[in-house]
Amino acid sequence: GQQLNQSPQSMFIQEGEDVSMNCTSSSIFNTWLWYKQDPGEGPVLLIALYKAGELTSNGRLTAQFGITRKDSFLNISASIPSDVGIYFCAGRHTGNQFYFGTGTSLTVIP
Amino acid sequence: DTAVSQTPKYLVTQMGNDKSIKCEQNLGHDTMYWYKQDSKKFLKIMFSYNNKELIINETVPNRFSPKSPDKAHLNLHINSLELGDSAVYFCASSHRTSGSLETQYFGPGTRLLVL
């Protein structure tokens, strides 16, 4: 199955810094989702995007649906220690199948 | 008020055994999924059911057999377990609202270790 490319693969940042990560696909998607996975837990949905160019925020998190429909971006402002985890993007063409990114592991140093 | 629940959370078993993992969602969703997450954290779709009908069946050994008794449940039965089956298995569900808006929610995972 298709796997989306996420970058960076891992990040180590100081508390208070802003974070940016992205996800790219070789094909066009109609939906982009961003998830966070804490150790020992399942992925938790953070933000859903449904329209090219759409910019959506959830607290300190902001995600964008790229205008080419082949990419998406997630920004976290003023990071805090509980932001630690693995962030996954997921995209859907039509139908029910979601394709997942390779994940970005975030470490926040207090 | 758990949205997507899975049992058991941990499963340790011997090679060659048969085991089942259960999943239930109380979100009223019409589609359910099984994913496998390997040690590198890659999430791979295994199966998807929509209204109890199998719609996605990725290249998965036929030792894995999903069963959906109703829209709220999707169980996964694994025969003749192998060492390589050790992974975390996630159940998920989704529902397409009007205008094709769809989100997907995950269960807490079942950690399977085959010895």
Whether A102 sits inside 8 A of B42 (CB atoms) is yes
* Beta pairing partners, A104: A87
Q: How far apart are the first and last CA of chain B?
A: 34
Residue A103 pLDDT: 94
Instruction: Measure CB to CB from residue B100 to each of A30, A44, A99 and give the nearest one.
Output: A30
- Can you list the alpha helix ranges (DSSP code H) found in chain A? none
Q: Calculate mean pLDDT across residues B48-71.
A: 86
- The answer to whether B102 and A32 have CB atoms below 8 angstroms apart is no
Q: Calculate mean pLDDT across residues A58-82.
A: 96
* Least confident interval from A59-68, B42-51, B100-109: B100-109
Task: Say whether pLDDT at B97 is over 90.
Answer: no
Residues B28-56 have pLDDT tens digits of 988 899 999 998 888 988 988 888 888 87
Q: Calculate mean pLDDT across residues B50-65.
A: 84
pLDDT category of residue A53 using cuts at 50, 70 and 90 = very high
Closest chain A residue to B104 measured between Cα atoms?
Answer: A45
- Asked if the bond preceding A81 is cis, omega within 30° of 0, the reply is no
- The answer to whether B14 and B114 have CB atoms below 8 angstroms apart is yes
